[in-house]
A and B are shown apart, each in its own frame.
Chain A
């Protein structure tokens, strides 16, 4: 929403990879490894997306919610901030921050509908209480910029704004939220990395266009590599592996 990313709190709060990849001591005690940590964060997207579909909010709200969640876990432990509650609460908060308010009771209703087990018995007051804790942990910085905004402009400029390419890059951007990229890189570079990945995948040579941009192509290529690495490793993840990670969090 802010007019300028470079003066925004988002820009000032960009992290280094090393800062993001820190497992909270409390979680470490429970045997959570860095890999578990990443897995859990990635899997938190599933309930967030399911809920978002149920309550019908824009992708941008999901993206903001995930960013809040990822920012939260750079500062707080999963032991204290239960991922099962944090996910929906981040969506709740993001829906307000992105001006598409969703009622808490609606979220509670859908959580119960989607998950019937005991672990998901959350009431409205749990969400509201967690909202306060998250707000405080985020230090009330709520403005988030996303790659979605610059994506269509770049595609048009590169002459790649056909439906196929738009859908492919949009999907790639969606997938970047399964990683911590949004905490580390400026959103327009993430958008460019997605376009780069897509152009390589579709075998369209856009080198000339990229060279004309005044951006550090090394950064863009590094992000693209991370995206490819992610897809590579993503295939090897089994449900058991995820369940094992979540189980470690049990009190």
Chain B
């Protein structure tokens, strides 16, 4: 389908419908949707240009009142290539309530260490919000730390419903398996399942839970095969005994491990609290049918034993990370480091149409395979989540030290024992959101032209840009395109 001709993207429609329907204290509130023809938005766009890198930045925090996320940039030219006087070319923006942090960003801050009641508090809010989504028949499909926003009252809210969609319990239709950021993607999706349900989100929750306790992401795969391998190494290899029906999943035979692999979760994380481990074990069940639901997880012993989850309001108020100057400075520094790193690693140069580093944050979008119904309104600045926060560079200072022992919450007893790339294993060169695109699809160019800013529209995204079915991936999904070629998989 020619997506550039399909007007307002269906993914944006889904997102709006979902956001307008969900009203919960643990779900981000959509305040309004604005089109950019008015002066207010021009001013806003103008401010964005100054404060942030232009056009690609989908997130602005303006006077700490709202988040603004660009949803859609209208057509710039008509069929004949003549400039169009369509007043909608400026774009449509979603305005969200303002949140101070995101979970990953918060954890990234040097010197921050979450307490057990704090982790319980965040986890409980995450599960409450997710349970609400699930009973309202919405799959989030991109649960990860950077999409969990936290305000200074300690409230956690689910955000970024760009990949979310409604599902029905009765007639399961085929859904795309190319969702959820790689590190948080459950095995059934990696194995190609297209019929799935709320359990996919619960796997992501399990990953986040383990990450909070462990101090770093537990499955930092750099592509799908490696991702599955990391999962199998920890959770054991799936077979008909522990996961009835697994052999019928499309790509099971491609990925079937050649050697037997035992579930080592309890062993690797034996230093975790007993109840935490018990809950984690149920969240990271390979078989989605056996995976715990959000509702049952909320009833888990873990939340009802000492120390209890704390009151959100009692949590420390962290300094907001939105001072524009520091943010910009950090971005520049990160950019610098990454440039250096990239040169060192001699990664393939991006497609010539892509402008890799134009200004801070104006990085090309990550690509995944074609026909992917993802929307790529990610701030390339940080990769994950379009509410993205500044965070540590993919590798380097902050929370994901490659040594694996200096992390904020790394348990001393853990260091060095996790085999197979676990824990002590070095991180892949790409951390979150590697900056280089894997395919040279047109949509991969940075949105908009140079420093032209919002009002002008984006030459490379005539319309439907960020949502096009040609699909911009997000975060570490970037390998998708390559992998697709490699294995010749069909969607």
A-B interaction: yes
Binding site for B on A (CB under 8 A): 1-4, 7-9, 92-93, 96-97, 99, 101, 103-105, 123-125, 127-129, 131-133, 135-136, 139-143
- Say which residue of A3, A9, A132, A141 sits within 8 Å of B8 (CB atoms): A132
Q: Nearest residue in A to B79 (C-beta to C-beta)?
A: A125
- Say which residue of A104, A136, A139 sits within 8 Å of B7 (CB atoms): A104
Smallest CB–CB gap between B20 and chain A, Å?
Answer: 6
Which B24-55 residues have C-beta < 8 A from chain A?
Answer: 33, 35
Binding site for A on B (CB under 8 A): 1-2, 5-8, 10, 13, 16-17, 20-21, 23, 33, 35, 74-75, 78-79, 84, 86, 88, 92, 135-137, 166, 463
Tally the A-B contacts, defined by beta carbons under 8 Å.
Answer: 79
Q: Which residues of A contact B10 (CB under 8 A)?
A: 96, 99, 101
A3 touches B135 (CB 8 A): yes
- Say which residue of B1, B74, B78, B137 sits within 8 Å of A132 (CB atoms): B74
B135 touches A127 (CB 8 A): no
Query: Within the assembled complex, what's the spacing in Å between the Cα atoms of A135 and B10?
Result: 13
A103 touches B84 (CB 8 A): no
Smallest CB–CB gap between A54 and chain B, Å?
Answer: 18
A92 touches B137 (CB 8 A): no
Instruction: List 9 A-B pairs, minimum CB-CB distance, nearest first.
Output: A128-B7, A132-B88, A2-B21, A96-B10, A140-B33, A3-B136, A131-B7, A96-B13, A140-B16
Q: A104-B7, A140-B33 are in contact. List 19 more A-B contacts (CB 8 A).
A: A2-B21, A2-B136, A3-B21, A3-B135, A3-B137, A7-B21, A103-B1, A125-B79, A125-B84, A127-B7, A128-B5, A128-B8, A132-B86, A132-B88, A135-B92, A139-B33, A140-B16, A143-B17, A143-B21
Smallest CB–CB gap between A94 and chain B, Å?
Answer: 10
Query: Within the assembled complex, what's the spacing in Å between the Cα atoms of A143 and B23?
Result: 14
B8 touches A135 (CB 8 A): yes
Q: Nearest residue in B to A7 (C-beta to C-beta)?
A: B23
Q: Nearest residue in B to A136 (C-beta to C-beta)?
A: B35
What are 6 inter-chain pairs, A to B, with CB distance below 8 A?
A7-B23, A92-B7, A128-B7, A129-B88, A132-B74, A140-B33
Q: Which residues of A contact B2 (CB under 8 A)?
A: 103, 105
- Say which residue of A103, A125, A136, A143 sits within 8 Å of B75 (CB atoms): A125
B20 touches A140 (CB 8 A): yes
Q: Which residues of B contact A103 (CB under 8 A)?
A: 1-2, 5-6
- With contacts A1-B166, A96-B10, A125-B78 taken as known, whether A9 is within 8 angstroms of B88 at the C-beta atoms is no
A1 touches B21 (CB 8 A): yes
Q: Nearest residue in B to A132 (C-beta to C-beta)?
A: B88
Query: Within the assembled complex, what's the spacing in Å between the Cα atoms of A105 and B7?
Result: 11
Q: Which residues of A contact B21 (CB under 8 A)?
A: 1-3, 7-9, 143
- Say which residue of B1, B135, B137, B463 sits within 8 Å of A128 (CB atoms): B463
Smallest CB–CB gap between B4 and chain A, Å?
Answer: 10
Q: Nearest residue in B to A125 (C-beta to C-beta)?
A: B78
Query: Within the assembled complex, what's the spacing in Å between the Cα atoms of A142 and B166?
Result: 14
Smallest CB–CB gap between A185 and chain B, Å?
Answer: 21
